[in-house]
Structure 1
């Protein structure tokens, strides 16, 4: 939320030209955008979206994975998108979205990763209240969004996917999370629930300090978002023109998955973010310490170096994690610059996956081949 303060401090609003009228919208207390994206709301005048793009352009399969209790009652119905790895030796990237977002926010990133490294598998999951449904022991919908339960859901989706695809065992896994998803993957890495299968984890544009700072402004921010849209193209256009998303193709792919059509034919947010306030501090408190202490290689990708808090600054100087900064991106950096994000992630995987290392030949083998050493 510090980005927003800086924007107002440096900009005289009266000096800006008036923006063109936006599509018909209403005000609301929910949003598809995440906490630190408010500083990116700068009107753009010329972009016009095309129709929405289907998930099959970016992923091989879409699954609704059902989980049952021992008594046969439904426990959960998880929604995921999957492109399987080339073979059992190839890692799988498990992608977790931010608050109010969806698995389709990784659509362009998934395509670019596969273009750079076709053998990788990609599993984009959707959290409860964001496309997946979890039930409590009484059969009611469980809306508890505490980070520990979201982490358990993430691990469950991975194991259910493995069973669905008949994998003999889990492949090597790299966890990647944006915003809230970064808190979830960081917590998961600290639980050691994936054991030796966890190669590493990457966090996209969230750190504890700036996230907690943003919480005091969140309800005001959410109240400024539209309540509904008259059409999906209108919703896509709003995201582009408000600069919430800076990549029109990504907006066309991801925005429709954030909305549901009501009985009046208007499109409303699928996730009511204002109702999740009780969990905001739980998501991010202690995140920096967990990020630094978790097992496996660590990558932090930010849209600005000013978002590093003191604990992470010290960790960076000690070489505990890899840091990459995309200053030209907004908060949704994986949507704004999917090609650059993919390059960084692929290089991270290649550097840390021992199965991909090409070792020099042994001296004995060279001598056996008659070569001088």
Structure 2
């Protein structure tokens, strides 16, 4: 158990994040005037049933992978997170899909991420990570593996496609990829380092990190941010190569928001037009937390994740689902494939890149409908009535 998890259990947090009456779990939290949002962290066991570390024996080493599980029957949804994230990014979604259809979920901290510990954590090549997926399935289930549905977001979506294309999961039932398309991913690589440099290097507290993730738009769902950010950060080390500056991104975001509020209260007069009023500064506390993985150092693997991804996805001879935050993300190969009916696609607008975190309820509904349509499982209760017949 990590130091963050120990802190959470000692803090005796409430059993579920407090929500306003009538607010559905997983929906965006809108607070009324004068009410402050709660950025306190929420532990994994509010969404998953069990957590364990499984050991994979290699030829020259033993690697430990952290997994979170829920459910006792039905097909297994093997969930692969995006770069820099962790299995906890699936927390809210997992609780929602389990309530909709008969299934089991297994969310994995991939190599170099979360609380997984491997000998060569810097090797994030598509070949190595897809082999990890096959080894995890083999370690968990052996020759009697149940039907498995691979679901991956961003980098995890690419690894899911590579795993499926190489037939590393013999009992593979279906493939779901969330907001990753070869064309747009390759185009975005040139600006990725700029984006990573724009993020704060350190945070003064877990709450500070959660607040940044929501205010910056990285995660647009407060409930999800309160559990998933725990998998992205770790205790700050004194010998960190890149010490934080005195004015981090989160301080800037809070400062700008306070200025906007003051302008509204004072007749909309911009502060820069007011004389003899010093700019308000936000105190930067001693840095306590930083990112668990330095994504900027993984650049040499990025092209290998995404190059040729569209054709690999289309070549997989299983029912496929592509969930996107915008239809503009489709590249030429996938556009043609979609017109030919080679996969099912659904666009979930008004979401950021972390679609399954921003709208876990809508993603759960889309995947539940996909599973029922392909007769992978059965709906729970009356939920089947909300899906159209095919």
TM-score normalized by structure 1? 0.76
Q: Which residue of 2 aligns with 1:85?
A: 72
Q: Which residue of 2 aligns with 1:106?
A: 90
Question: How well do the aligned residues superpose, as a CA RMSD in angstroms?
Answer: 1.8
Structure 1 runs not aligned, ≥5 long: 1-44, 136-140, 358-373
The answer to whether the aligner puts 1:151 opposite 2:151 as a matched pair is: no
1:2-81 paired onto structure 2 within 5 Å: 48-69=37-58, 74-81=61-68
1:1-373 paired onto structure 2 within 5 Å: 48-69=37-58, 74-86=61-73, 90-117=74-101, 119-131=102-114, 132-135=116-119, 141-162=120-141, 169-195=144-170, 197-263=171-237, 266-353=288-375
Aligned-partner SS, 1:299 = strand
- 1:356, CA displacement in angstroms? 5.3
TM-score normalized by structure 2? 0.73
Say if 1:173 and 1:200, in contact at 8 Å, map to a contact too. Answer: yes
- 1:295, CA displacement in angstroms? 2.2
User: What is the count of residue pairs matched by the alignment?
Assistant: 297
Aligned-partner SS, 1:129 = coil
Structure 2 runs not aligned, ≥5 long: 1-32, 239-286, 380-390
How far apart are the structure 2 equivalents of 1:354 and 1:347?
Answer: 10
Say if 1:48 and 1:237, in contact at 8 Å, map to a contact too. Answer: no
Say if 2:100 and 2:368, in contact at 8 Å, map to a contact too. Answer: yes
- 1:69, CA displacement in angstroms? 3.6
Worse-matched range after superposition: 262-271 or 142-151: 262-271
- 1:354, CA displacement in angstroms? 5.5
How far apart are the structure 1 equivalents of 2:180 and 2:375?
Answer: 25
How far apart are the structure 1 equivalents of 2:38 and 2:346?
Answer: 30
How far apart are the structure 1 equivalents of 2:103 and 2:62?
Answer: 30
- CA, structure 1 residues 232+240, in 2 after alignment: closer, same or farther (shift >3 Å)? same
- 1:142, CA displacement in angstroms? 4.4
Aligned-partner SS, 1:130 = coil
How far apart are the structure 2 equivalents of 1:179 and 1:54?
Answer: 24
Please give the per-residue CA displacement for 1:203-251, whole angstroms capped at 9, x wherever unaligned.
0011000100000011111111000000000100011111111100000
How far apart are the structure 1 equivalents of 2:121 and 2:212?
Answer: 32
How far apart are the structure 1 equivalents of 2:356 and 2:166?
Answer: 26
